[in-house]
Amino acid sequence: MRVFVMGDIHGAFKAVKQCFERASFDYEHDQLIQLGDITDGADEVYECVEELLKVKNLIAIRGNHDEWLLEFIRTGIHPYHWTHGGTGTIRSYIKAAGKQDILIPSRKGYKTSLDPADIPETHRVFFREQFLYYIDGDNNCFLHAGFERQLPFKGQRDDTYFWDRSLWMEALSYEAGKPYPEGNAGFKIVTEFREIFIGHTPTLNWNKDQPMSAANILNLDTGTRHGGRLTIMDVKTKEFWQSDPVKELYAE
């Protein structure tokens, strides 16, 4: 069984299909660890979840955008009022429900005809059951964003795992020889891992549309939400495959 890790999807179903095809991914026998943020971006979130549900050996990690949709599923209220790429999520589920597409700008983002009940139960279960993190048998850690490395890994606040950027930014500073909390004493993490795989912070911020590494951290958010590419990587060999730029796949 090969083990793959995939970065932030952001509703780009066409990119998901390309990555699976280019990596020759086997839905029955290979394992996929998806790093979160399936929602908010292109308008095919429904299709993305349906495709992931076909993967027999799937580990789905929760991203901050997924947490926002989960909050909507739980309460009928979207905490960020759909203003951070959420219109694509709205359109995807309204279309799947066969309802009229209603998106009215308001002071709090968008008013919409979407109701939590319009999201299929299989999808509601999917988002409820996403993991905050996953640690494999080789002591590799997979999570959406990061964590406070000066503290024990387990037991940190739930939102730390899908919001924290300090881990990645401090690793970059360490690699560049720039000042960071420990100076030049080495990049220390209280809970040691062989390798750490994250998304959340687009590599496009550094003008790169391929995975980046710093210390023992690999960043696979190659900018899908911002028109970049989706990436899938073989965890063992580090060979990776990418989609075409999303801005081209979803050009109007």
Cβ(182)–Cβ(188) below 8 Å = yes
CATH of the domain at 209: 3.60.21.10
Print the domain residue range for 129: 3-249
Distances (CA, A) of 2 to 9, 104, 123, 175, 238: 20, 45, 26, 30, 12
Rounded mean pLDDT, 222-227: 97
In this prediction the pTM is 0.95
Domain count, the chain: 1
Question: Residues 129-175: pLDDT tens digits?
Answer: 999 999 999 999 999 999 999 999 999 999 999 999 999 999 999 88
Question: Looking at residue 215, what is its pLDDT?
Answer: 93
3-class DSSP state of 155: coil
Q: Bigger pLDDT: 186 or 208?
A: 208
Question: Looking at residue 252, what is its pLDDT?
Answer: 67
Question: Looking at residue 181, what is its pLDDT?
Answer: 61
pLDDT classification of 183: cutoffs 50, 70, 90? low
Over 90: is that where the pLDDT of 235 sits? yes
